[in-house]
A and B are shown apart, each in its own frame.
Chain A
Amino acid sequence: MSIEQKGHSGSREWAVEARGLVKTFGHNHAVDGVDLNVKAGTIYGVLGPNGAGKTTTIRMLATLLRPDAGSARIFGHDVVKESQVVRQLIGVTGQYASVDEALSATENLVIFSRLLGLSRSEARRKAAELLEEFGLTEAAKRPLKNFSGGMRRRLDLAASLIAQPPLIFLDEPTTGLDPRTRNQMWETIRRLVKTGSTVLLTTQYLQEADELADRVAVIDQGRVVAEGTVDELKMSVGSSSLHLRIKNSQDIVNARQIVDRVLNVQSSVTAEGGKMTAPMAEADRVTDLLIALREAGIELAELSVQKPTLDEVFLTITGHGVEEDVSATPEQTHKEGEAR
């Protein structure tokens, strides 16, 4: 039958292909021409501040919102024309737990399982299995009103996994979770991908994208402003930098001259003194520098190499920071940019 053929003609390589997605709410261009390509079997991070259009994008991809313009395919199936097929391939975990508050954890999972076509006994088994897996067995019979935020998210994710969908959307899966629960959630997401799932997650946390995502799209004001692997994004901002701390702060001027001469760059000294930062284009030169410093009798207290953080990436790309306290000095980033 033609239906079956469609299933087989589906894309094997791309879990998500979105072209020029647009969604407007009144005068607000929530999503303004987003392109996304997500390879099957990977974790893809959509990174952006609040109100950037992340959730709206996910809702369009998950058939919850109809795009005003553009198109999107999930494993080769159009989200508008073949929405019911797409729904068989995805699991959605929303920003606000999409589970039934009035019911218990087991009842929630049983109902979702029944809706997905499992028999009564299969549904019971599946619910028990998932609760066990997500460490919710003890709370299985309690109403969700008494659940903590972390438990609710876990249940929500469990509910998304009933049909073992090949693509899972996670909208800010760890927002509002404490660090321990957040780490558990990350572990779960990594395990998911190991079993062959594709995960598309949104996050406002740069660290989260850094930890999890194979590729990242940075979204700002409804547009993708940068795309690539986390490393590529960091590279686009600047090379790694060398951080040095000098034991005797009176040596700093001397040390700085040596650094500038040997590495052939402009270094900078931080306000606290005794600390220097220099762009590091070639790692080999560091050996020369260390030898030169020893010959000059300058002792080092600490030496480290740092890749640029995603905070810097975001700042450079969008022109405004994600958070108020941008720890890295913007001046330094610009210098690195010039140095390249």
Chain B
Amino acid sequence: MNSGSIKPAHERQLRNKTSFIQSVRHSLTMAYRGLLKIRRTPEQLFDVTFQPIIFTLMFTYIFGGAISGDVKSYLPVVIPGILVQTVITTSVVTGVQLREDMDKGVFDRFKSLPIARIAPLAGALLADTIRYTIATLLTFTMGYIMGYRPDGGLSHVVIAGLIVIACSWAISWIFAFFGVIARTASSVQGISMIILFPLTFLSNAFVPANTMPDWLQWFVKINPISHLVTAVRDLTNSGTVGGDLIISLVGAAVIVVIFAPITVRAYMRRT
């Protein structure tokens, strides 16, 4: 108002399409918003901070002796397992928070702005990679403190970490979908945990698959989580890249290809 009069509608240059570059910019701004929110309410990082610490301690000392004879030789098995389990569990929060966010008045404003429709979704998912990064760092740090010295070397540990983060980001699209279609945030949490709990435990994350009954081995072997865990073990413990890595990455890509469009469509319909 101070800045003089308003430009009339017919003198404005208007476009009905949002360009790709604009979409990326809008998504990055929305991700920035997500980061600001984390900074304002750091307590929402409790889960990614304490889960890696507690789980690493717990599982290593409970199962270590029984499965690998002693704690030290169990670490190369369990650290990649816990890493995958923790980081993927963290991705559920994306769906829950998205649901909470969408119920707030601010989403009306986002919808009324001339921004790419996908931006609020993409931004939220992007911001959550910070959570995966924290969880990844803490799990490796805990492992290191407990005596884990991966033979693959630092560079392979970093690559493994990045792959876990990327796969979790892909999986978070599934939970984002639940977040968009569910009615309440707690139901998102409920559905997601029911899916995730068997998926992470019925894998080779904590226990070698060959100790299980045949029918269970069959599932454990096709479980995508197992492939990701194996891929991470290969990288961190021997610095090798195997078929499991390719399966994991292809699986992640398939999830994004399926869930990103249906999530966006469901999101648009809700709005």
Contact = CB atoms under 8 A, between A and B. Distances in A.
Interface of A: 3-4, 6-8, 10-12, 15, 40, 62-64, 74-77, 82-85, 87-92, 94, 96-104, 107, 111-112, 114-117, 129, 133, 143, 159, 161, 164-167, 191-192, 195-197
A-B interface, 9 closest residue pairs, ranked by CB to CB distance from nearest: A75-B9, A87-B114, A98-B109, A98-B105, A92-B112, A196-B6, A96-B105, A7-B14, A85-B14
B106 interface: yes
A89 B9 CA distance: 7
B196 interface: no
A167 B112 CA distance: 12
Nearest to A143: B40
A94 B10 contact: no
Contacts of A112: 109, 113
B211 interface: no
Contacts of A84: 15-18, 114
Given A84-B17, A85-B16, 12 more contacts: A4-B13, A10-B14, A64-B108, A96-B105, A111-B33, A111-B36, A112-B109, A115-B113, A143-B40, A166-B9, A195-B1, A195-B6
Given A94-B105, A98-B109, A192-B1, A6 B6 contact: no
A27 to B, nearest CB: 20
A3 B41 CA distance: 43
Contacts of A97: 105
17 contacts: A3-B15, A6-B16, A8-B10, A64-B108, A89-B9, A89-B12, A90-B112, A91-B112, A94-B108, A98-B109, A99-B105, A100-B106, A103-B36, A103-B37, A111-B29, A116-B115, A197-B6
Given A101-B104, A161-B1, A116 B114 contact: yes
Contacts of A167: 9
A197 B9 CA distance: 10
B16 A64 contact: no
B198 interface: no
Interface string B1-42: 111111111101111111000100010011011001100110
A200 to B, nearest CB: 13
Given A94-B108, A192-B1, A88 B40 contact: no
Contacts of B41: 102
Most buried by B among A77, A91, A114: A114
Contacts of B105: 94, 96-99
B29 A62 contact: no
A88 B32 CA distance: 22
Nearest to B2: A133
A223 to B, nearest CB: 25
A102 B4 CA distance: 32
Contacts of B32: 111, 114
Contacts of A166: 6-9, 12
Given A98-B105, A115-B113, A64 B14 contact: no
Contacts of A96: 105
A165 B108 CA distance: 17
A91 B107 CA distance: 14
Contacts of B119: 115
Range of interface residues on B (Cβ < 8 Å): 35 or more
B271 interface: yes
A199 to B, nearest CB: 11
B155 to A, nearest CB: 34
A75 B271 CA distance: 23
Given A4-B13, A101-B104, A40 B8 contact: yes
Most buried by A among B1, B3, B8, B271: B1
Given A103-B33, A103-B37, A87 B8 contact: no
B111 interface: yes
B40 A40 contact: no
A282 B41 CA distance: 68
B14 A77 contact: yes
Nearest to B113: A115
A91 B13 CA distance: 17
Contacts of B271: 64
Nearest to B26: A115
Contact of B7 (A11, A83, A111, A164): A164
B169 to A, nearest CB: 22
Nearest to B8: A166
Interface string B254-271: 000000000000000001
Nearest to A9: B10
Nearest to B12: A7
Contacts of A161: 1
Contacts of A99: 105-106, 109
Interface in B78-115: 104-115
Contacts of A129: 2-3
A62 B13 contact: no
A191 B3 CA distance: 12
Contact of B111 (A64, A88, A104, A133): A64
Interface string B37-68: 10011000000000000000000000000000
A133 B111 CA distance: 25
B15 A63 contact: no
A40 B9 CA distance: 9
B112 A7 contact: no
A210 B18 CA distance: 40
A7 B1 contact: no
Contacts of A88: 12, 14-15, 114
